[in-house]
Structure 1
C-alpha cells in the first residue's frame, strides 16, 4: 500500500493536466480497466456453452447416447458439474467463475478444512472444527462440511481472506445473529449455502483472525455483508428472510459476481453502494448472472449507487415495487433477462430512479438489450444506448433470454425446488443443528479424541478432498491520504495516466 501511495503522490505533484471527461468511472486501484471485455467474455462463454449443449444433443439423437444429459448451457455449472468425480477435485470450482468476480480464488491451493461441529458458543474463542474457527484462519482454506447442519450464529461470522465455503454434498444452513461479514478481505467464494433469518447483533468481542479479537458494534442483520472487499464470488446460494439486505456490497467493494442464486421472501433484496456521495463506489463492478428472483420479493434486485452493474440472464418472477433501482448515476447493463411483472397495474415498471428528477436521470446509462418482458413489464432506458460504458451489442441476447429456464434451472442450493415457495415455514431461528458425531444435538459436537487438527484438516490432493458425507490480508487503499489523492487525481488528471500507474 505504501508504494501505491507514493506513486499516487508523485503523480499528484507532477501531473496537473487539464481535466477531461473519462469514459468510465474508474476510481479503485483494483478495478478492471476494461469492463466491456468482462461482459464480452461472459457472453462468449454463455454462447459457447449453449452451442456445445445443442451440438451434443444432436449427436445424442444420432447415436442414442446421453452424453449431454447434464449440460444446461450455464457455463459455470457446465464447467464442473458434468464430471461424475467432481468431489475428488472440489477446487476446480475456482476455475469456473465468470464476470467481475471471476478472479476470486477462494481457498484454492490450500488445505481442505472439514467442519464437524455446528455450534457457535464463543465468537471470541471459536472451537476447532466449527465454521467460525475455519473462516478466521490466515492461510487459504477450502471449507467443506461433514454432515447436514444448521449453524445458528451468536454474532457476525467474520471472514479472513482466501476462503471458500463449499456446501456441496451437505445441506448447510447459516442463520441467527449477524450472519456473514466480508470486511476488508479478498478472494472469497461462498457456494451452495442457505443463508436466512439473519438478525442484528453485536456490541461484543468477535475474533477476526487467530491473533486478533476486536469489539464489534451492532450489525444490520444482512445475510451477506460485503464491506471494502474485492474478488468475491457468491454462487448457488439460497437467501431469504433477513432483517436488512440479503446481500449488501458497500464502501468501495468491487470485483464481485453473484450467480446461480435464489432470492425469496424479502423486502430490500440487494444494495450496491454505500451512499450517493461515497465516491470510491464509482469504481464498483458487479456481475449478477443466472439468478432466480423468486416469490415474496419487494424491491432492490439490485438497488445501485454509482459503479458499473451487469445484470445478465436472470429470471425475475416477482416484485411488488420494482426490480432494478438506482441513484447517483450508476451504469446498468441489462442483457438477456426475463422480467415478469406482478398483477398490480401500478408495479409493471422494472426500473426505478430513486429520489431523482427525470431531468437528471435522463443522461444516466441504463439499457435493456435482449430482455424478455412478460405480463406488461417494461424497462425505462436512459442515456446513450451504445455508450462506451456498455459492452458491444451481440447476436446471442435474444437466444439466451429464450433459454432462461435452462440457464437458471438449478438456481439456489442444489436439491432445492426451483419454485420452492417457503422453504422455512414456521422457522423460529432455531432448527435442528447436527454435528458429525452427535446427530440431533442442538449445539453439535466434535469428537473428543483431542486430535482436532488431524480430524478437520486434510491435504488439497484429490484423494482427500471430499468429506465423509455422501450426499492474507487484502491489499486495500483505505487511508485518508490515498483516498484524498485518488479524489484529486480523478478531478484533475487524465484517467488513462492514473490507470497506467496502478
Structure 2
C-alpha cells in the first residue's frame, strides 16, 4: 500500500509542478498578442516599383487588402509588449534546461544571438538581427506586423482563407508570420511567397508535408525558420495566387522542399528537411545573397542544387553561405552541388553520404573551412568532392580549397586551383571556427521531434503533449491497480485463493515488476518495464476461479500480474 501511495503522490506532484510538459492551450495567439486586430490598408505602390528592373515581376494594382478583407483578425500589433506571452517564455526556458533544444553559449553566433535571451518570445523580431554570411541582410518581415496562422487548411490556392499560411505569405507588405498551435499543412499547390516575409515556427511543431512546398520566386528579403519540411510532391498545371492582386497559371513544379528562383537576401535557418521528390533546397536563375544555416538534412538523394545549368551565366553572381548544418543519415549526394558562383561551406557536420558530399561544374569557387567530414564505410566513396562531368585538365584550374577541415574514416578533399586566401575573398562570408567545435556548433540543428502520422489537415501531437498524456494515463492506471489490489485484499480475508495453473507455490510477480509486495497484504501484478503504448498484460488471474482480465490501452506497460496468496 505504501508503494502505491508513493507512486500516486509522485505522479500528482509531477503534474502540479512541471511546466515543461504543458502543451499550448487553445487560446489564440491573437489573445496573447493583444492589440489592433485589423490589417492596415495596403499602400498602393506596386511591387514592380521595388523591382523596376525585373520585367518578370507582376505589378500589383492599387486595390488594398483592407478593401478585400475589412477586418483581419490574424494581424496584431507589437506582441513584445503583451505580458500574457510570458507563459510561453517560461515553457521554453524550462525546455531549454531539460531538453537542450534551446541551449545557449554554444559558440554558434546565430543561436547565441537569440536563444540566450530568456524572453525571446517577447522579442521575436530580434531574430532578424542574428543573420550571418551572405544572407545576413535578410530582414524578412521585421518591419511589419505579426500574422497568426490558425488554420492549417489549403482549400483554395486562388482565394486562400484568412488565417492560413497561404493567405499570409502572399500579402504585399512585410509580415512576421507565427503559428497558433502545432499543425500539419498539406499544400495543394506551391506556396508562392511575396517579399519581406518571415515564417517563424519557433515554439510550435509545424510541418509542411505530403503536398506542394515553398517557392521563393523573383522576390527579396525572406526568412524561413523552424519548420519541418518533408515528403514534398510535384504539383502544378493549376491557377495559384502570388499576391493580393495577381494569380496565374503554374506549370508542373518539381517537388522541391524550398525552391529559390531569381531571388536575393534569403535566410533558411533551423529547419529539418527530408524525403522530397526533387531537391531539398534549390537556388537557381541568378539567386544570390543566401544563407543556409542550422538545418538538419536527412533521407534524400539530391540534397541541394546551387546554380541552374552550366550555360546559365547569370549564376556567376551567386553567393551562398552554408553554415552549421547537419547533413545526416540517408543522404546520397549534392551537399551541395554548385555551378558558377561563390560558395562558403563552413563548420558543417557531414556524417553521411553515399556518393559524395560537395560537387560542382562550370567553375564554381568553393571555400570549405572548419567542417567535419565522416566518410562512409565504402572504400570507393571516401572522397568528399566530385567534379561533375568535367575533365581533369579543366577542373584543376577551379578554386576549391579545404582549410581546417576534420577528415574522419579516410575522408579526403581534392583541392584545385589557387591556394591563396585572396582568391577566395568572394567566397568568404564569416570567420570559421575550429572543426573540433563542430559538434557543439551544430547541436541545435538536430530536431528530434516526433513526425506526424501521414494524414491530411490534421494537427499533430507534440512530444510535450505525448508526455503529458502518458503521465495522466499512468496515474489512472496506478489508481486502478490500487482499487483492484484492495478488492483482492478483501477477498483474501474471506476465501482461499488458488494460484493460476502452472505457477509454483511461491509469491511472485511476473512482468519485470517488484517482488515481495504480496507480503503486505496488497497482492497485485508487478509494474512492468517498457513504457510506450501498451496495456496491463495478463491481468490479475486465478483468484478463486475469478480472474481480473487485462486492462488495455494504457501507457507505461504494466505487465505480468499473476499472484498467489496463501
User: Per-residue deviation at 1:390?
Assistant: 1.2
For 1:352, the equivalent position in structure 2 comes to 386
Q: Distance in 1 between matches of 2:374 and 2:164?
A: 41
SS in 1 for 2:434: helix
Q: Distance in 2 between matches of 1:343 and 1:320?
A: 9
Residues 33-432 of structure 1: pairs in structure 2 closer than 5 A: 70-386=104-420, 388-391=422-425, 400-412=434-446, 416-417=447-448, 424=451, 428=454, 430=456, 432=458
SS in 2 for 1:219: coil
- On the 8 A contact 2:153/2:457 being kept in 1, the answer is no
* 5+ residue gaps, structure 1: 7-67, 440-502
User: Per-residue deviation at 1:433?
Assistant: 2.9
User: Per-residue deviation at 1:305?
Assistant: 0.3
User: Per-residue deviation at 1:2?
Assistant: 10
User: Per-residue deviation at 1:123?
Assistant: 0.4
SS in 1 for 2:210: strand
SS in 1 for 2:435: helix
Residues 427-465 of structure 1, C-alpha deviations (whole Å, 9 max, x = no match): 646473369xxx9xxxxxxxxxxxxxxxxxxxxxxxxxx
Q: Distance in 2 between matches of 1:73 and 1:205?
A: 46
Residues 67-88 of structure 1, C-alpha deviations (whole Å, 9 max, x = no match): x973110000101111110011
User: Per-residue deviation at 1:393?
Assistant: 10
User: Per-residue deviation at 1:373?
Assistant: 0.2
Residues 45-103 of structure 1, C-alpha deviations (whole Å, 9 max, x = no match): xxxxxxxxxxxxxxxxxxxxxxx973110000101111110011100000000000000
SS in 2 for 1:195: strand
- On the 8 A contact 2:133/2:429 being kept in 1, the answer is no
Q: Structure 1 residues 3, 203: closer, same or farther in 2, change over 3 A?
A: closer
SS in 2 for 1:280: helix
SS in 1 for 2:189: coil
User: Per-residue deviation at 1:3?
Assistant: 12
Q: Distance in 2 between matches of 1:152 and 1:104?
A: 27
Q: Does 1:433 align with 2:459?
A: yes
- On the 8 A contact 1:117/1:434 being kept in 2, the answer is no
For 2:487, the equivalent position in structure 1 comes to none
- On the 8 A contact 1:308/1:331 being kept in 2, the answer is yes
Q: Distance in 1 between matches of 2:234 and 2:209?
A: 11
Q: Distance in 2 between matches of 1:74 and 1:143?
A: 25
- On the 8 A contact 1:179/1:224 being kept in 2, the answer is yes
How many matched pairs? Answer: 366
TM-score, L = length of structure 2: 0.62
Q: Distance in 1 between matches of 2:435 and 2:384?
A: 16
Q: Structure 1 residues 3, 247: closer, same or farther in 2, change over 3 A?
A: closer
Q: Distance in 2 between matches of 1:3 and 1:191?
A: 25
Q: Distance in 2 between matches of 1:234 and 1:4?
A: 22
- On the 8 A contact 1:154/1:176 being kept in 2, the answer is no
Q: Distance in 2 between matches of 1:146 and 1:406?
A: 31
User: Per-residue deviation at 1:175?
Assistant: 1.4
SS in 1 for 2:167: helix
Q: Distance in 2 between matches of 1:207 and 1:77?
A: 35
Q: Distance in 2 between matches of 1:332 and 1:364?
A: 9
- On the 8 A contact 1:365/1:387 being kept in 2, the answer is no
Which structure is richer in relative contact order (CA contacts within 8 A, separation 6 or more)? 1
User: Per-residue deviation at 1:177?
Assistant: 2.6
What is the RMSD computed on CA atoms of the aligned residues? 2.5
TM-score, L = length of structure 1: 0.70
Residues 6-21 of structure 1: pairs in structure 2 closer than 5 A: none
- On the 8 A contact 2:132/2:430 being kept in 1, the answer is no
SS in 1 for 2:125: helix
SS in 1 for 2:168: helix
Structure exhibiting the larger radius of gyration computed from Cα positions: 2
User: Per-residue deviation at 1:109?
Assistant: 1.4
Q: Distance in 2 between matches of 1:130 and 1:81?
A: 28
- On the 8 A contact 1:307/1:330 being kept in 2, the answer is yes
Q: Structure 1 residues 329, 396: closer, same or farther in 2, change over 3 A?
A: closer
